[in-house]
Structure 1
Amino acid sequence: MASDVEIGRITTDIPARLDRLPWARWHWMVVIGLGTVWILDGLEVTIVGSMSDALKPTDTGLGMSSFDIGLAGAVYVAGACLGALFFGQLTDRFGRKKLFLLTLGVYTFATVLTAFAPNPLWYFVARFITGMGIGGEYAAINSAIDELIPKHYRGRVDVAINGSFWVGAALGSLLTIPLLDPKVVDPALGWRLAFGLGAVLAVGILVVRRHVPESPRWLFIHGREDEGEQIVGDIEETVHRESHHDLPQVHDDPITIRQRRTISIPEIAKTVFTLYPKRTVLCLSLFVGQAFLYNAFFFTYGDALTTFFDVKQTGWYLAVFAVSNFLGALLLSRLFDTIGRVKMITGTYILSGVLLAIAGFVLGSLNATTLTLFGVVIFFFASAGASAAYLTASEVFPLETRALCIAFFYAIGTAVGGISGPLLFGALIDQASKSKDITHLAIGYFIGAALMVVGGLVEAFLGVKAEGQSLESIAQPLTAEDAHEGGGEHEGRRVTSPSPA
């Protein structure tokens, strides 16, 4: 295709200049503007889990069964998978910023649509579109964050941001308490207001996100190095002003790359399956394990509490569970940059898998409180490991394919674990509710535990020691490989600039 042809060759130090920056308020703006997508996702998933009873009555809800609730969760995840693949390809082609604004708009529109659902079919369609927006966000946001955050902070920032899903989960859990109280809000209105609040939060995020720049790394690959230089210069000036110190010298070598407007799908497929087969196996193992564990347990957790333990208000239980998940990702995140990716991912995956298996064996003797306590301990570790799965996929593949690779592994892993998990657990709950025997859920716990342990073992053997490394040294850009393959035949333009301080 004409759009795939070479449009130039440059030598640039843009990645080195971004990686050597000290942490400043500007980086917090990036974290708040981009990272809050996980809060939205957590809010969405928790509201659906907490609303299971509110959606069942035919007069005030939508007349949905437990299986329908599980199906809605599966439809949401299916939308997220397709949205990740669709928008992920567009993110690599048209840029990070255009897509992280577009996908947030899709999410906002679909959430409002959900709030006005008159019947289950409308609700399913709205949940599918909502999932598409969130899935697209994962691809656009993870790639943008990793390309803007300095290398020495990338691990802790990624893990903590992905863990902020549980801030949204806690907010969703607490919001549903008054909204589901018939003494406070009309039952026919409460669940609709809960979904509407997600749209309000999204609009607030959009205000901040408008100020986040395009990734300079993406710009120089696609022949827009002048824009990239301008953005990096502005970032350096801002960080210098905020830190009140001279910026460190640039020590990493510049890179020479062959610019292209787009990279073809066959080139991307070659990257994933031929150049990096071990990393492909690694990411699939991590994503399948965490997706099944979380979606199977959490999509139907509220339903399990109400069905087996007669809990009327699940919000308090879900909030405690969510806080533990966020604290795990937040408190353990720094260790992914200090102890290292391989040791931490291996440890969190295997430990959480073993603990989940133990919970499966004693499931029959648990009550609502002890089940929640098991979840608190298990997912304190699992949340950090699961967050690191997104970190791994976003940093171990070349820049030109980053968004689509994130989307690919998210979609495959989530399709296996996120669709089959809720469907399996929804069917198990329907079956077990007849006898009020929660032990029917144990098989799902054992499957999730086994997949987590396998993921941990794969990490131990195939994991990448990416802590403190630049993205370009972890996975050399495809265009940089092309430039080397071309020998010294063409002299590349040098586009490097001194720091402002």
Structure 2
Amino acid sequence: MRTLDVPALLDGARFNAFHARLMFWCALIIVFDGYDLVIYGVVLPALMPVWGLSALEAGLLGSCALVGMMLGALFFGPLSDRIGRRRTIMTCVILFSGFTVLNGFAQTPGQFAACRFIAGLGIGGVMPNVVALMNEYAPKRMRGTLVAIMFSGYSVGGMLSAGLGMLLIPQWGWQAVFFVAVVPLLLLPPLVRQLPESINFLVREGRLEQARGVLRQALPEQRVEPDDRLTISAGQDSKASVAQLFHEGRTLNTLMLWMAFFCCLLMVYALSSWLPKLMNAAGYGLNSSLAFLLVLNFGAIFGAIGGGWLGDRIGLGRVLLLFFVMGALSLSLLALKSPLVVLYLLIGIAGASTIGTQILANACTVQYYPAHIRSTGLGWAFGIGRIGAIIGPLLGGALHAAALPLQVSFLAFAAPGVVGALAILVFLWQQSARSVRQVAMAPADGQ
């Protein structure tokens, strides 16, 4: 009988069909997760005149999904560490897809808000779980890249939402784009069959034969026998709790990650919710305004994949610091009057360094926390960050209602990038100080 160290084996695995299949399904979930989220910014210019919404009312309506996302992340993140990622992901897909479809039947702002809130629960809950699941199985040497590629599905979903908005809204009305969200419900049966459960969860729960089966798929070159003993890292057999995010010297870094998420999500949702409307108010037609949203999400794909590749080489923390600085700079430059080509370029860079930054922050967070509290850590970072996401649309609505120049809005959206950069700087300093302490203690441990 052998003893197999499961995390070490998964870290050293070669990328194979199992990883490709897992990345496909997780990315597909994130595509429609992003579609369902960005959809509000797409329909907002058409929705405001239909229901006679003021800018502040539109901002408040946009925040309904984000309040749901905050609660969903806080609830479903820790829950999955207790009941399993697979079951939690399925529940969240049904919530966000089903209630986004129902949004298309809303007759009043109240009905619309209720559907957006419940869909937000699923959107907020699914994100930390698919990121944690992908991170768990991805080979260590390419983990940042694979998680970034998978989560760039969010930007693909945003582009899909904007593109279908340009095609469907003029002819079929704003409701049409919500009905597209039925696709994940149709794909649920194969998703149930093919999405694996967290192997750390299976080992903790004593479902060892099922864990061995998953391990054989992830490591086809490794002969896993029925009597092999599976182990996970020390401490990972304990139940997850929020308090553990602050144990073992993690307090300051946990708080800095929360601050970074808050700032990044404020920038992301302020832009996603108000960019089409701001550009429409600046004199661009509806389709041109939606094209800016397309460019924003297109830039995010390059930022996420390029940042993930760079993060695997120099560290995700350093890349996050660089991206926060780029985000603040690009949004500040949008406050200047520029030729259309330069404007598109700056919006693309803004997408890479805001949405792309959030994608990299997800990967950084799941790599920072041990496996047994990974969804709890990411779920709470998302949950606290959602406060910034809620403030974002409200801030955009308040600035638009005040009839301030377009430049003021972009400068206000850039300010959180500076604060986020400072938070990551403290995070890196703390990581460096901890590494120095571990090196200093090593000789004493060996005596």
Regarding TM over 0.5, the answer is yes
CA 1:99 to 1:286, structure 2 compared with 1: closer, same or farther past 3 Å?
same
**Residue 266 of structure 2 aligns with which residue?**
292
Whole-angstrom CA distance in 2 between matches of 1:72 and 1:391: 30
Matches within 5 A, 1:59-458: 62-181=51-170, 185-186=171-172, 190-204=173-187, 207-208=190-191, 210-237=193-220, 240=221, 257=234, 263=239, 265=241, 268-272=242-246, 275-313=249-287, 314-360=289-335, 362=336, 365-366=337-338, 370-415=342-387, 417-432=388-403, 437-458=405-426
Q: Are the equivalent residues in 1 in contact too, given 2:23–2:134 (CA < 8 A)? A: yes
Q: Deviations over 1:379-412 (max 9, x none)?
A: 3234433211111221212222211111101110
1:293 CA drift (Å):
1.4
CA 1:326 to 1:209, structure 2 compared with 1: closer, same or farther past 3 Å?
farther
1:235 CA drift (Å):
3.0
Q: Percent identity?
A: 24
Whole-angstrom CA distance in 1 between matches of 2:88 and 2:428: 34
CA 1:273 to 1:305, structure 2 compared with 1: closer, same or farther past 3 Å?
farther
CA 1:227 to 1:382, structure 2 compared with 1: closer, same or farther past 3 Å?
same
1:442 CA drift (Å):
4.3
CA 1:375 to 1:222, structure 2 compared with 1: closer, same or farther past 3 Å?
same
1:99 CA drift (Å):
0.7
Whole-angstrom CA distance in 2 between matches of 1:71 and 1:337: 39
Q: Are the equivalent residues in 2 in contact too, given 1:317–1:372 (CA < 8 A)? A: yes
Letter in 1 for 2:358: A
Structure 1 residues not aligned, in runs of 5+: 1-9, 241-245, 248-252, 466-472, 474-501
Q: Deviations over 1:290-323 (max 9, x none)?
A: 1111112221111111122242223322222221
Letter in 2 for 1:89: P
Q: Partner of 1:318: helix, strand, or coil?
A: helix
Q: Are the equivalent residues in 2 in contact too, given 1:11–1:256 (CA < 8 A)? A: no
Whole-angstrom CA distance in 1 between matches of 2:267 and 2:338: 19
1:115 CA drift (Å):
1.1
Give TM-score scaled by structure 1 length.
Answer: 0.78
Letter in 2 for 1:50: V
Letter in 1 for 2:69: A
Give TM-score scaled by structure 2 length.
Answer: 0.87
Q: Deviations over 1:57-116 (max 9, x none)?
A: 34xxx4433323221221111100101111112201100111111111111211121111
Letter in 2 for 1:322: N
Letter in 1 for 2:151: N
Q: Deviations over 1:142-171 (max 9, x none)?
A: 221111112112111112222221111111
Q: Which has a greater percent of helix?
A: 2
Aligned residues: 428
1:284 CA drift (Å):
1.5
RMSD of aligned alpha carbons: 2.8
**Residue 226 of structure 2 aligns with which residue?**
none
Q: Deviations over 1:254-311 (max 9, x none)?
A: 6565785x7264xx31443664113213311321221111112221111111122242
In the alignment, is residue 14 of structure 1 matched against residue 6 of structure 2?
yes
Matches within 5 A, 1:8-47: 12-47=4-39
